A and B are shown apart, each in its own frame.
Chain A
Amino acid sequence: MNSTKLRRGKSLARRRENIAGWLFIGLNFLGYIAFKLAPLVFAGVLSFTKWNFTSGMKNIKWVGLKNYMDMFKDEAFLTSLMNTIVYSLIMVPVAIFLALIFAVILDKYVYGKGVLRLAFYLPYISSMIAVSLVWMILFLPTNGPVNQILTSLGVENPPRWFNGSSTSLLSMAIVGVWQRLGYNIIIVLAGLQGISASLYEASDIDGANVVQKFLYITIPSLSSTLFFLTMISFINSFQVFTPVKVITQGGPGYSSSVLVYYIYQKAFQYSELGYASALSWVLFALVFVFSFSRMIVDYMGSVKQRKGGTK
């Protein structure tokens, strides 16, 4: 009898606890539905339509898969897609690799860590608009400081940076790396704090040198940190927009046009909401496929590691 009462009391308490919990996440969930999920679904529906949003909802015209089919004939879209991938493939590895080097140096080999950390982090919290304008001046092909230095060093034809078709995307990636580096360093530094000193002490006893310690202790120990950074950096780099809008507007030609900028142009300059929504879904799919495949690779790696450990 007592145990039944106790069970009933526990169940009631759990139910009340659940209700309280639901009340908390319920509000957040409502916000998520209203501001994230519903627009996402709406964009999905819009991607099968032709719509100018000033004309009102009644003028949405169903076009089926036309928007999706059109994009593969759209040279500007294909160039923007390729540029986005190239930008990410340059920006992400370079920013992570440099962050790793700088973080290790900052962690062990320099004085004034706090000041240096702040110095590296400043670009990340600076306004991208202001930063873009500064980089525009620095990279001026004719009288910019960077090219003046290169010329004084004997470079006869210095690059045209943002103003050259072959260098504009690379220049954009340089700005991206410069801005992202500080954030990456902070994350890697946090990861470095978590590596047990005993591992390095043991390796000292085994006679490992600095490079061996870095390759066989630091990097493997940072694998989850690096995985997080890779994911976040790729997702961010797929969404690059501000420097493109401010500095090059996608030019010269389409050489620095990226997916988000192209979507912005289609949606808000040419009022092609349906087509822009279809492009947004392609961007979403791209990020999703990348994130998912990276997770699978990571999962398989950890399974393999566990199996190896069992053996």
Chain B
Amino acid sequence: MKKVMAFLLALSTALSLGACGGGGGNTQSTPADSGSTASVESSQDSAGGENAEGGEKTLRMYAWTNEKVMPPFVEAFNEKYKGQYKVEYCYIPGADTLTINTALASGEAIDVMTQASAFDMADRAYAGTYLGLKKFFDQEGWTYDGVFGSSIESIQNLDGEYYSLPYGKSTQLIWYNKAMSDAAGVPYPEPGWSWDDFRSTCIAMTSGEGSEKVYGASIDFDAEGDLYWCMMAFQEKGAFAYYNDDFTATAFTDDIFKQSLRFFSDLMLVDKCIVPIEEMKAFGYTNDTQNIIGLYNGKFAMCFVPDYGYQYLEKSFGEVPEGADIGVVDMPTLSGGKNVTTCYTSTASIPTFCTDEQGAWELIKFMCIENTEYFAGIKCMTPGIEFESPEKAREFYTWMFEHTDEKVGLDHEMALDVLTHERQLVSVDNTYMPGQGKLIEAMKAEIALVFNGESSVDDCLTKLKTVSDNAIADALKS
């Protein structure tokens, strides 16, 4: 009896284990299943397969955008491509490298994958994960720089091929608390201001002591994507600022890098007028959302957050205080009088294993080029494309303000005005891969030591150059 019981127990365990792992061929669990979109009965039927009703092909698009804001996008695409394609939105929990790599390696049918890191995009492209898109540009009769501008083109061009389209370019701006400026009697920052003006404003806006201290500005020097510490270098030198002409070494010891790093580290350590690095981390100001929340709660008078920052002036991110009055201004430059700022892109790519190449192209064309308002717009982002004219840009942002939640405390007219300014955009993205992992790692480690007061600007940049140059040389050798 005992043995029979034992056998039955073992058999039932085996069957239940089998049941847990089974069904791979017919029913696949997808991120969509746990999200808000309809569950998928069969990946074969759904992904790229023809729908019995109407013969439309289903295209699967993966992104981390809140599902609640996606229905207009899905409806607009389905309407435009009625009878041909329909899109199924699959939510992924974030833009982390691991999250996206795991999704790509999972065997799921993915027609469009989005990402926030140019490094990751290039890494995947060189690994053969993404489809080259040049043929589609040729087919449409477009050029990449004609659509997205030369700075972005130079970054996205991987040995003459393009593997992604930017759906949004996060343009660096400065957000400021107008009520605090009024209270302190400090004039609002004006377009065309210089870094010296920025410094004096920061000093003038700093007050109090200890835990009550209010800082002039909050700038996240920790984030590898923003590269604020060398913003002056990018403004002066353009894209790929930290490489020499033939990309065989770095230019970290150039005067402009020293000037930029010294300027920002002095603000933190000498003038003590920007939030110190330890408070940035402890209070979460390294996160754009927390930065804007800190701004309207009067913890600091200005903050560096990309153009999408105003989306956080919304009740779901926390109660915006009564009387909050938030303004925005372009980045200062070294000598003032110019409008040059940095940006980084978020992109969409087509995996080589997509179910329908042409359909996937139509989908990323819709989201990144032809109907940018439905994706970049609903995410409060500036689209990757170059606007044909300032009027077109104004039209886009007006649509955006009308179709997204009310932004409490935002000076809408000023925001519209600033967002549509003509400016020179320099991409801080980096797709030059040799030694880049080591370079990013060293940059994060060494720059933090300067803002910590443990390393001098000269020592830091010399070490950074040595480590980076060695990494590039090793990579090129192998």
Chain B interface, DSSP helix/strand/loop, else mixed: helix
Q: Which of B17, B127, B129, B210 contacts A143 (CB 8 A)?
A: B210
Give chain A interface residues in 50-81, CB to chain B under 8 Å.
52-56, 59, 75-76
Q: How far is the CA of A247 from the CA of B222 in the complex (A)?
A: 13
Q: Which of B14, B17, B97, B454 contacts A252 (CB 8 A)?
A: B454
Kindly state whether residue B379 has any CB partner on chain A within 8 Å.
Answer: no
- Give the nearest-CB partner of A270 in chain B: B437
Kindly state whether residue A165 has any CB partner on chain B within 8 Å.
Answer: yes
Q: Which residues of B contact A253 (CB under 8 A)?
A: 445-446, 448-449, 454-455
Kindly state whether residue B412 has any CB partner on chain A within 8 Å.
Answer: no
Q: Give chain B nearest CB distance to A196 CB in angstroms.
A: 38
Kindly state whether residue B13 has any CB partner on chain A within 8 Å.
Answer: yes
Q: How far is the CA of A20 from the CA of B446 in the complex (A)?
A: 61
Q: Which residues of A contact B17 (CB under 8 A)?
A: 27, 31
Q: How far is the CA of A302 from the CA of B276 in the complex (A)?
A: 56
Contact residues of B with A, CB < 8 Å? Answer: 2-3, 6-7, 9-10, 13-14, 17, 97-98, 101, 104-105, 123-124, 127-129, 210-211, 276-279, 281-282, 437, 440-441, 444-446, 448-449, 452, 454-455, 467
Q: Assess the B6–A164 pair: CB atoms within 8 A.
A: no
A55-B128, A136-B282 provided; 15 other pairs, C-beta below 8 A? A17-B3, A20-B7, A26-B10, A54-B104, A55-B127, A140-B278, A143-B279, A162-B278, A249-B444, A250-B445, A251-B445, A252-B448, A252-B454, A268-B101, A272-B437
Give chain A interface residues in 159-178, CB to chain B under 8 Å.
160, 162-165
Give chain A interface residues in 8-61, CB to chain B under 8 Å.
16-17, 19-20, 23-24, 26-27, 31, 52-56, 59
Contacts known (A52-B127, A54-B104, A143-B211); A23 close to B6, Cβ less than 8 A: yes
Contacts known (A23-B7, A54-B105, A59-B128); A140 close to B448, Cβ less than 8 A: no
Kindly state whether residue A141 has any CB partner on chain B within 8 Å.
Answer: yes
Chain A interface, DSSP helix/strand/loop, else mixed: helix
Q: How far is the CA of A307 from the CA of B448 in the complex (A)?
A: 58
Q: Assess the B3–A164 pair: CB atoms within 8 A.
A: no
Q: Which residues of A contact B437 (CB under 8 A)?
A: 269-270, 272
- Give the nearest-CB partner of A23 in chain B: B10
- CB<8 Å pairs between A and B, sample of 15: A20-B2, A26-B10, A31-B17, A52-B127, A55-B129, A76-B445, A137-B282, A140-B279, A140-B282, A143-B211, A160-B452, A247-B281, A253-B448, A265-B441, A269-B97
Give chain A interface residues in 234-275, CB to chain B under 8 Å.
247, 249-254, 265, 268-272
Q: How far is the CA of A272 from the CA of B435 in the complex (A)?
A: 12
Q: Which of A59, A140, A164 contacts B454 (CB 8 A)?
A: A164
Q: How far is the CA of A254 from the CA of B441 in the complex (A)?
A: 10
Contacts known (A55-B127, A251-B448, A252-B454); A163 close to B441, Cβ less than 8 A: no
Contacts known (A136-B281, A143-B210, A160-B278); A54 close to B127, Cβ less than 8 A: yes
Q: Assess the A52–B98 pair: CB atoms within 8 A.
A: no
Q: Give chain B nearest CB distance to A10 CB in angstroms.
A: 15
- Give the nearest-CB partner of A133 in chain B: B282
Q: Which size bracket describes the interface of A in this complex? A: 35 or more
Kindly state whether residue A293 has any CB partner on chain B within 8 Å.
Answer: no
Q: Assess the A16–B210 pair: CB atoms within 8 A.
A: no
Q: Which of A59, A136, A252, A270 contacts B452 (CB 8 A)?
A: A252
Q: How far is the CA of A164 from the CA of B128 in the complex (A)?
A: 42
Q: Which of B123, B278, B440, B454 contacts A165 (CB 8 A)?
A: B454
Q: Which residues of A contact B467 (CB under 8 A)?
A: 75
Kindly state whether residue A224 has any CB partner on chain B within 8 Å.
Answer: no
Q: Assess the B276–A142 pair: CB atoms within 8 A.
A: yes
Q: Assess the A141–B278 pair: CB atoms within 8 A.
A: yes
Q: Assess the A20–B13 pair: CB atoms within 8 A.
A: no
- Give the nearest-CB partner of A264 in chain B: B98
Q: Which residues of A contact B455 (CB under 8 A)?
A: 253
Q: Which residues of A contact B279 (CB under 8 A)?
A: 140, 142-143
Q: How far is the CA of A268 from the CA of B99 in the complex (A)?
A: 9
Q: Assess the A164–B127 pair: CB atoms within 8 A.
A: no
Q: Which residues of A contact B448 (CB under 8 A)?
A: 251-253
Q: How far is the CA of A136 from the CA of B105 in the complex (A)?
A: 36
